[in-house]
Copies of this chain bind each other. A is one copy, B any other.
Amino acid sequence: MTDTIEKPASAALSPQARVDAWLADFEAALAVRDVERVVAMFAVDCFWRDLVSFTWNITTVEGRDGVADMLHARLAETSPSGFRTREEPTADGDVASAFIEFETAVGRGTGHLRIKTDADGKDVAWTLLTAMQELKGHEERKGVTRVLGAVHGSDADTRSWAEKRADEERALGRSEQPYALVVGGGQGGIALGARLRQLGVPAIVVDRHERPGDQWRKRYKSLCLHDPVWYDHLPYMPFPQNWPVFAPKDKIGDWLEFYTKVMEVPYWSKTTCLSASFDEAEKHWTVEIDRDGERLTLHPTQLVLATGMSGKPSIPTLPGQDVFRGEQHHSSAHPGPDRYVGKRAVVIGSNNSAHDICKALVENGVDTTMVQRSSTHIVKSDSLMEIGLGDLYSERAVASGMTTEKADLTFASLPYKIMHEFQIPIYDAIRERDKEFYDRLTAAGFELDWGDDDSGLFMKYLRRGSGYYIDVGACDLVADGTIKLAHGQVEKLTEDAVVLADGRVLPADVVVYATGYGSMNGWAADLIGQDVADKVGKVWGLGSGTTKDPGPWEGEQRNMWKPTQQENLWFHGGNLHQSRHYSLYLALQLKARHEGLPTPVYGLQEVHHLS
């Protein structure tokens, strides 16, 4: 009876009142370090995802036992406080959702909370996201704390900004060692480089290309981003309002170059890493590099591989590749259609690159056959934008008050374990909406799938990083036979043809291997050695037990943006969204170490697969 009076039915309270009450209880229980009391405030099927703020890791604990284990290990030292909402919570049925903020002993965080009412009528946490945003005493200088620029008053240092920059560039990597070396200067390396610059962590981003953005410029000429502009903003500097929805590759290349310069990212172009080894005694790396012909040895404390989760081409070894007299190359080296006009192309593979390349080839009059080796997931771009991304990343979302920051927090708040449950209805709706389209594709013999559990594109991306095409027109060309379709594995190449397992012979002047990419720890093997690659294990994937993502369940993306089994070795990358979002958490982990803060890692991931 007393209980009933003290705890009125949640339904009678506003979402704000429910969330405020839960946060107040939560904070009180945390303050007295009463783990059991905290745990009792969570649902049995709860998820607490932490980005660096409690765990110095990117980790999701699942269920009450998971919460208890993490808190026993980390509560005292984290010393969290100040939990409050950032704006008015919303409710969807029984579930109240809130953007929150809080602080810890060493930092300030934001997050997201979903509470629901349990069988006793009590509000319990279903999902909680806690995400470090800045370290106390090491805040980035922006807005009111931005630097002055001009020196007001008399200045003992008479060098100009440009002279100081030049001096710094001359010293970096020679008289001054970088604390962090970021290998790979695509959007991942650049975004991380910008964050580290803002945080005052001495770093160099090295890249083998002539200039920033070439990672995009050098791809096949018809390439445009498959993700829309609202999803793609880099940190600090959003794209302008007139930016195309799907930016052409050269335009995004120019933007990355611009961004690198404006954000003052220390960036070495035309630089190749030759080898790297970790000195256990000195606790730093020795990295041999070639900078535009000059050999240098660097000694960074931290080594970040940002070489691209789609960076290491995977080309099948096939009999006859040595006798084939035409041209053959991986999709990543495909120049576009111009030099193949009037010739015959065979494109092996049926995912994004294969479709893009085939479309450009046939539009230029090249006789083109796509070889589908296994089923492919297809989504029309406009359906994906509208149904899949529209609530968070669209002009509609912007108009409704959604910001990139809030969208990213919302996205990050969905536990990977149940994310597919949110995704399946989206793809059910898309299948319904575009039924005629899928029927035509099937009639043309194209083999479709929707992922092992019908959860569609984004889960495929997170689990295996492959297996789909976002349709921007190639499917119509497949359906009407303009792009010819063949099926099965490739048996061999002859002097002038590709021969399939069923004996079908595809005459070819050029063969394009749109056969995907290997795990990022292949880069670690090349650069550091197979022993270290095996020590850190497979990169990417969730352990979902679906195709190409073997279990056990990991809870987070393997090895991405967080400590690995190799001390001071990190992996960074992904699409523009991930490069923006996770670069913050990786940068904060590096900053904390650079400042000598204790960073005890909770839940360091175990290795279950080598690649």
Instruction: Give A residues with C-beta under 8 Å from B.
Output: 140-144, 146-155, 158, 160-163, 165, 198, 217, 221-222, 224-225, 229, 236-237, 240-251, 254-255, 257-258, 261-263, 336-337, 359-360, 363-364, 381-382, 395, 398-399, 472-473, 476-477
Closest to A336 in B: B160
Closest to A257 in B: B258
Nearest CB in chain B: distance from A153 CB, A? 4
Say yes or no: B240 contacts A152, CB within 8 Å.
no
Nearest CB in chain B: distance from A481 CB, A? 13
Q: How many identical chains are in the complex?
A: 2
Say yes or no: A250 contacts B161, CB within 8 Å.
yes
- Considering the chains assembled together, what is the distance between the CA atoms of A152 and B144 in angstroms? 43
Q: Kindly identify which residue among B165, B217, B255 contacts A262, using a CB–CB cutoff of 8 Å.
A: B255
The residue among A140, A147, A198 with the most chain B CB atoms within 10 A of its own CB is: A147
Q: Kindly identify which residue among B149, B245, B257 contacts A224, using a CB–CB cutoff of 8 Å.
A: B149
Closest to A147 in B: B244
Known contacts A146-B242, A242-B146, A242-B236; decide if A250 and B162 are in contact (CB<8 Å).
yes
Say yes or no: A150 contacts B364, CB within 8 Å.
no
Say yes or no: A154 contacts B476, CB within 8 Å.
yes
Q: Which residues of chain B come closer than 8 Å to A263, judged between CB atoms?
A: 240
Q: Which residues of chain B come closer than 8 Å to A249, judged between CB atoms?
A: 160-162
Say yes or no: A158 contacts B363, CB within 8 Å.
yes
Q: Kindly identify which residue among B161, B162, B258 contacts A261, using a CB–CB cutoff of 8 Å.
A: B258
Say yes or no: A154 contacts B245, CB within 8 Å.
no
Say yes or no: A146 contacts B243, CB within 8 Å.
yes
Say yes or no: B162 contacts A245, CB within 8 Å.
no
- Considering the chains assembled together, what is the distance between the CA atoms of A141 and B144 in angstroms? 33
Say yes or no: A221 contacts B472, CB within 8 Å.
no
- Considering the chains assembled together, what is the distance between the CA atoms of A161 and B246 in angstroms? 12
Say yes or no: B261 contacts A150, CB within 8 Å.
no
Q: A-B pairs with the 10 shortest C-beta distances?
A: A149-B244, A150-B224, A161-B248, A150-B246, A258-B258, A162-B250, A142-B241, A149-B246, A160-B221, A153-B473
Q: Kindly identify which residue among B247, B254, B261, B382 contacts A149, using a CB–CB cutoff of 8 Å.
A: B247
- Considering the chains assembled together, what is the distance between the CA atoms of A142 and B398 in angstroms? 13
Q: Which residues of chain B come closer than 8 Å to A241, judged between CB atoms?
A: 142-143, 146, 236
Say yes or no: B476 contacts A153, CB within 8 Å.
yes
Say yes or no: B142 contacts A360, CB within 8 Å.
no
- Considering the chains assembled together, what is the distance between the CA atoms of A477 and B155 in angstroms? 11
Known contacts A160-B250, A395-B143; decide if A148 and B245 are in contact (CB<8 Å).
yes
17 A–B contacts, CB within 8 A, in A order: A141-B242, A142-B240, A143-B241, A143-B398, A146-B241, A146-B243, A146-B245, A147-B242, A149-B225, A149-B245, A149-B246, A154-B477, A158-B364, A160-B221, A161-B251, A162-B221, A162-B251
Q: Which residues of chain B come closer than 8 Å to A160, judged between CB atoms?
A: 221-222, 248-250, 336
Known contacts A143-B241, A221-B162, A241-B146; decide if A363 and B154 are in contact (CB<8 Å).
yes
Q: Which residues of chain B come closer than 8 Å to A472, judged between CB atoms?
A: 150-153
- Considering the chains assembled together, what is the distance between the CA atoms of A222 and B160 in angstroms? 6
Known contacts A158-B337, A237-B240, A255-B262; decide if A229 and B146 are in contact (CB<8 Å).
yes
- Considering the chains assembled together, what is the distance between the CA atoms of A359 and B165 in angstroms? 21
Q: Kindly identify which residue among B146, B221, B242, B257 contacts A163, using a CB–CB cutoff of 8 Å.
A: B221
Say yes or no: B236 contacts A240, CB within 8 Å.
yes
